[in-house]
Homo-oligomer: A and B are copies of this chain.
Amino acid sequence: VATEEQMRRAFEQYVSRLSAGDGDGVAALFADDAWIEDPLGSERKQGKQAIVEFYRGAIERAHPQVELTGPVRTTNLPEAAAPLRSRSFFGGRHTVIDIIDIFTFDDDGLITSMRAYFGPSNMAAAEEA
Give the shortest distance, in Å, between A64 (CB) and chain B (any CB): 16
Q: Flag if B8 contacts A74 (CB, 8 Å).
A: no
A98 to B82, CA, bound (A): 10
Q: Flag if B8 contacts A79 (CB, 8 Å).
A: no
Chain B residues contacting A69 (CB-CB under 8 Å) are 70, 83
Q: Find the B residue at minimum CB distance from A99.
A: B73
Q: Find the B residue at minimum CB distance from A39.
A: B75
A41-B117 CB under 8 A given contacts A71-B98, A81-B81: no
A118 interface residue per 8 A CB criterion? yes
Residue in A8, A73, A98, A117 whose Cβ sees the most chain B Cβ within 10 Å: A73
